Amino acid sequence: MGEGAAARIGEWIAPGPVLFVTDAQVLALGLADAALEGLRVDGRAIAVFDAVEADPSRITLEAAVAAGRAAGVASVIGFGGGSPMDVAKLAAYLLGSGDDLDTIWGVGNARGTGLPLVLVPTTAGTGSEATPVSIITLPGDEKRGVSSSALIAEHAVLDPLLTLGLPRSVTAATGMDAMVHAIEAYTSAHLKNPMSDMLAREALRLLARNLLMACETPDDTAARSAMLLGAHLAGVAFANAPVAGVHALAYPLGGRFHVPHGLSNVLMLPHVLGFNMHAAMPLYAELGPIVDPVLEGLGQQAQAAGLVEALRRMSETAGMPQHLRDVGVAAADLDTLAADAMMQERLLRNNPRPIAIEDARLLYEAAL
């Protein structure tokens, strides 16, 4: 971690040709220039794959694997937001293991050994550089994931200089995405543990104190560094205590309406937290004062409710849309969204309170 760390990326990858997975915008903005130049100075042969789109498709993943295979790469670098990193994780695994993608969907089914992998985030949000999960969009807009320790990167490189040019909207959406990771890890019905709790609390502290500062003063490297570290710690937290209902209801918004992942989480966050309140109130109360110090010393109910209100107010102050209708969702879409959400069993099982299809529809209706 540190300013300019991305330029030294060659120090952390294996010898031989490298597959550099990114997207066209990252290249166009020049964010990868220092990293690529550093690799060229090292004498590396570089196969640049820059065709990753938001909500990357299976076709894109398979094209990245084909590019790496054609170049005979020995390692993989994922450079960008969550989408390039997700593609890089699965590409590295498939190139190294030789497994068939259709045999590894789900949790713990990827048991082979991938190529060495280094991940470099250019947003402070997804935490993908820390997690064992990769999400791919299949035909029919279904999002499907692979979760396995075999996907974890050998190194994560956190360089705040890469995030200085992020627009306010992206800074806000990705930062609040990371806050959702911390909150859902802290309240996960499965695998919640003292280590993930510690990481989630520290992540939430860093993110809550710096998100609006990063929005208002985008060239503040201290705030950007804090956001990157917070997002990373939240990633480690939810890699161990998985996310839940907010993400389960957010994914269909990305798949059907191509709402950016962070924004889709924000749109569903207050409604799912409200739905969970009876089951998770003591835990929400513990997190409330971390997000809003004014809540310190209040009663449990006030602290828990204060957490939800503080998050809503933060997203509003950051200028984020507050309703599904603001992103093109109509009442006629709610049944389809609810049905799609029920396919996210991997996430729903972690929610503090069970979410049935009728509940999902009501939550979407409340968010409309």
Percent pLDDT > 70 in the chain is 100
Topology, domain 166-367: Dehydroquinate synthase-like, alpha domain (1.20.1090)
Handedness of CA 192, 197, 199, 204 (dihedral sign): positive
Question: For the chain, first and last CA: distance in Å?
Answer: 40
Specify whether the CB–CB gap between 320 and 176 falls below 8 A: yes
Distance between CA atoms of 259 and 251, rounded to whole angstroms? 9
Show the tokens assigned to 129. 């550089």
pLDDT of residue 141: 76
Is the predicted pLDDT of residue 99 greater than 90, yes or no?
yes
Residue 142 phi, psi (nearest 5)? -80, 130
CA 187, chain centre distance (Å): 17
pLDDT of residue 52: 97
pLDDT of residue 140: 79
Task: Return mean pLDDT, the chain.
Answer: 96
Q: Where are the domains of the chain?
A: 5-161, 166-367
Mean pLDDT of 5-14: 92
Is the predicted pLDDT of residue 363 greater than 80, yes or no?
yes
Residue count (the chain): 368
Is the predicted pLDDT of residue 165 greater than 90, yes or no?
no
Query: C-alpha distances in angstroms, 164 versus 84, 127, 230?
Result: 19, 17, 16
Q: Which of 81, 86, 153 is nearest to 116 (CA)?
A: 153
Question: Which band of pLDDT confidence, cut at 50, 70 and 90, is reported for residue 55?
Answer: confident
pLDDT of residue 152: 97
Query: C-alpha distances in angstroms, 331 versus 194, 245, 324?
Result: 41, 21, 10
Q: In 217-330, where does DSSP find H-type helix?
A: 221-240, 245-257, 261-291, 300-317
pLDDT of residue 42: 86
Is the predicted pLDDT of residue 83 greater than 90, yes or no?
yes
Question: Which band of pLDDT confidence, cut at 50, 70 and 90, is reported for residue 279?
Answer: very high
Percent pLDDT > 90 in the chain is 90
CB count within 10 Å of CB 294 equals 11
Distance between CA atoms of 41 and 249, rounded to whole angstroms? 46
CA 199, chain centre distance (Å): 16
Is the predicted pLDDT of residue 173 greater than 90, yes or no?
yes
Distance between CA atoms of 297 and 312, rounded to whole angstroms? 21
pLDDT of residue 277: 98
Class of the CATH-defined domain 5-161: alpha beta
* Confidence (pTM): 0.93
What are 352-361's pLDDT values in tens digits?
Answer: 999 999 999 9
What are the beta bridge partners of residue 314?
none
Specify whether the CB–CB gap between 151 and 89 falls below 8 A: yes
pLDDT of residue 112: 97
pLDDT of residue 20: 98
Residue 170 phi, psi (nearest 5)? -75, -40
What are 189-228's pLDDT values in tens digits?
Answer: 999 999 999 999 999 999 999 999 999 999 999 999 999 9
Mean pLDDT of 159-183: 95
Q: Which of 233, 234, 266 is nearest to 249 (CA)?
A: 266
